[in-house]
Amino acid sequence: MTKEEYASLDKKRREALEAEYGYLRKEQGWGDQELLTFLALLLSYRELRRKGPSEYITREDLASAYGSNSTGTASKFMGVIEKIEADQPAPRKRAPNTSQANVSSPHPAILQSAFDGVRKALDTLSVAVSEGRTKESLELAERYQGLLREQQATSDADLAAYQKRVADLEKSSSGSGAEAWKNNEAAESLRTRLVGVEAERDAAVARAEQADHDRELDRVRLAAAEALVQAMQAGAINHAAEVKRLQQELKANEEAARRTETELRGDHASTRLELSAERQRSAEAAAARDDALRARENGATLAHAELDEVRRLHLTELAEMRAAHALEIAAERRRNDELTVAVVRVAGKQSFEGGLQ
């Protein structure tokens, strides 16, 4: 995604992204243009990750997705992106082609199918976690900005009303006698309430900042869940490599047994006993390899169960996070409503007393 494509995005989405990652201006010493370049590269990286959840994304890949022929810009921001996303697998060399079937054993095809299923489930889960995190991050950023704007507007309106009322009472307090005394008392009362309103506004801002901090902690937890998924993917790959190695050893032992049988076929009858013993050892070795293969297959099944548990915990955390934010917003609205009612009551009382006088 180039800068131009980023600029054509929805305004609310751009504002949410700039609010979420605006702290990088101070942390990295960036200007506005550098932040825009970083956000365009970040979205390009996430698009590449959705297309290949388990693939290693190089600087050349990122520069190509950004629409640049040079990797200089991608190299400048790649480290920050990898630190934030925390989903980059370790680069690995392509394994040699060892897919030739072993016709003498019934296990390789079954194991390959099982590992393919586990790998597909890992890729699907990684995509779901990445998309869920992106969507949740945007929604929380928009809610946070909306809450701040609403609280700021309400607090500013209340503050202006109180200041105007205090000014009116101070102006009218220049009279004499009981009326001046009452006006002074009313002005002092409103000054006290004004201090309370300012304190309430500061508390609301602090609560909003705490909500933003909680959202950042949730993002860190999601990154940890993705790291766990990557570790499980690496474990599944290691299991597959170990299974292939055992298959090769089994095939080599069977070939050795066949060669031994050919060499001993023309020998004396006494050598037949040795051949029988060799066959027995080869059979025991083959049985041991079969047991090892079955153990690896059971390990793959356990890895699949652990992935299901990670998915369940992830969904539970998302539900708890949404419920907590909903409760916080509802409580904030109730406090604002109570404050508005109190202001209306005080203003009505003052108007009524002014009418009586």
Residue 240 maps to a domain: yes
pLDDT digits (tens, 9 = 90+) for 189-203: 766 776 776 677 777
* Position 99 pLDDT exceeds 50: no
220/297 same-domain check: yes
Show which of 34, 62, 91 is a domain's final residue. 91
Secondary structure, 3-state, the chain: CCHHHHHCCCHHHHHHHHHHCCCHHHHHCCCHHHHHHHHHHHHHHHHHHHHCCCCCCCHHHHHHHHCCCCCHHHHHHHHHHHHHHCCCCCCCCCCCCCCCCCCCCCHHHHHHHHHHHHHHHHHHHHHHHHHHHHHHHHHHHHHHHHHHHHHHHHHHHHHHHHHHHHHHHHHHCCCCHHHHHHHHHHHHHHHHHHHHHHHHHHHHHHHHHHHHHHHHHHHHHHHHHHHHHHHHHHHHHHHHHHHHHHHHHHHHHHHHHHHHHHHHCCCCCHHHHHHHHHHHHHHHHHHHHHHHHHHHHHHHHHHHHHHHHHHHHHHHHHHHHHHHHHHHHHHHHHHHHHHHHHHHHHHHHHHHHHHHC
Range(s) of the domain holding residue 53: 1-91
**Residue that terminates a domain, selected from 39, 64, 91:** 91
Q: What pLDDT does 308 receive?
A: 80
**Residue 103 counted as domain residue:** no
* Residues 331-354, mean pLDDT to the nearest whole number: 82
- For residue 275, what pLDDT band results from cuts at 50, 70 and 90? confident
pTM above 0.85, yes or no: no
Please tell me the least confidently modeled range out of 93-102, 135-144, 197-206, 304-313: 93-102
Average pLDDT over residues 78-98: 72
Residue that terminates a domain, selected from 91, 122, 147? 91
Both 87 and 153 in a single domain? no
pLDDT (tens digit per residue) in 29-51: 998 888 889 999 999 998 888 88
Residues 184, 267 within the same domain: yes
pLDDT band at 105 (very low <50, low <70, confident <90, very high): very low
Does residue 156 carry a pLDDT above 80? no
Mean pLDDT of the chain: 76
pLDDT exceeds 60 at position 176: no
pLDDT of residue 130: 64
pLDDT at 96: 47
The answer to whether residues 46 and 192 belong to one domain is no
